[in-house]
Amino acid sequence: MKIAAAKVIVCSPGRNFVTLKIETDQGVYGIGDGTLNGRELSVVSYLEDHVIPCLIGMDPRRIEDIWQYLYRGAYWRRGPVTMRAIAAVDMALWDIKAKMAGMPLYDLLGGKSRDRVLVYGHANGSDVDETVEAVGQYIDMGYKAIRAQTGVPGIKDAYGVGRGKLYYEPADAALPTVTGWDTRKALNYVPKMFEKLRETYGFDYHLLHDGHHRYTPQEAANLGKMLEPYQLFWLEDCTPAENQEAFRLVRQHTVTPLAVGEIFNTIWDAKDLIQNQLIDYIRATVVGAGGLTHLRRIADLASLYQVRTGCHGATDLSPVTMGCALHFDTWVPNFGIQEYMRHTEETDAVFPHDYRFEDGHLICGETPGHGVDIDEDLAARYPYKRAYLPVARLEDGTMWNW
């Protein structure tokens, strides 16, 4: 068996997606996701100009060797563009191999560790009362775990507060929009939201919150301490992770569980955080961390230190990544939770899939492969639209972390 052809499909059924389709000389094909929100065309260029020419004629069954070829064989390696291109190839190859074996992907990975995957949704509002109402709507939909974000009085367009109640797409303009931030106002307001949520819904539901890299380590520690009475499932991205030692200060001052990793690209980004037990959940993604081949290594390292997985699953990842993630989640022994932001009807139509939502969980299907396909004719009706993520500035105009 040889790789006979490969092509990149870019479409925008509500948002931009980069899909790689690899075809073999025996008629079996697989698809992978290489989407990088706001930088899609960089991945497309890397795939088309540097990766695909090397794939033609390779044996698609040699997944590990091809991964090493694309990673070690490139002198300029790592980084979000390179690793997402590798991930797209890796997902497609696992899809092909599982189809050849006649197995759902989780069986090829080693079989089920669980029957269903706990997921969390995104509830947000312009203020505390709107967010409390939105959390109730997710509970009515069957969710057992909900991420809660609120607008903060005096802050322009606070992070995580979308334009709709169900779908949140932060990449909102052809050039970056400018949002605001004020840490003191957020620290004074966010704990009030969780106090109201627990008063309203009790402690039977898991609640999560995303700091989105906005806080210094000391400020993050302060927030984690204030949130302890409300027993969060986790506090995510409480401080930028470039300096992994920063999490030591946070850990020393709060027992609120910590999660990080959606922007990580390799095991090296997570190594110190994991082995020093400075986090409780690792959020690296199938597409961001170089595919299933590499994400398995990260999860195996995490399992040695009782760190569990909590893969990123926002709508900037296509249903292809979600399908792969669910098979990974079904297999991985140290699973924690899976983020699940629902895609639009247009996206679901372009990417038909066999996973389903049921009673607060996602269940992957039994179709051989990862269970997600692409309707190329329909995809062609949704051409690429340039869309940037916003930027954030403090009240005095200083650039801040978005």
Active-site residues, by number, are: 159, 212
d(CA 38, CA 18): 11
d(CA 56, CA 89): 12
Strand partners, 278: none
Q: What is the SS3 assignment for 30?
A: strand
Which backbone phi and psi does 115 adopt, to 5 degrees?
-95, -20
Q: What is the SS3 assignment for 146?
A: strand
Per this entry, what is the length of the chain? 402
d(CA 290, CA 93): 13
Helices 217-227, 246-253: inter-axial angle, 10-degree rounding: 30
Asked whether the beta carbons of 210 and 149 are under 8 A apart, the reply is yes
For residue 15, which of 284, 317, 312 has the smallest C-alpha distance?
A: 317
Strands (E), 279-321: 281-282, 308-309
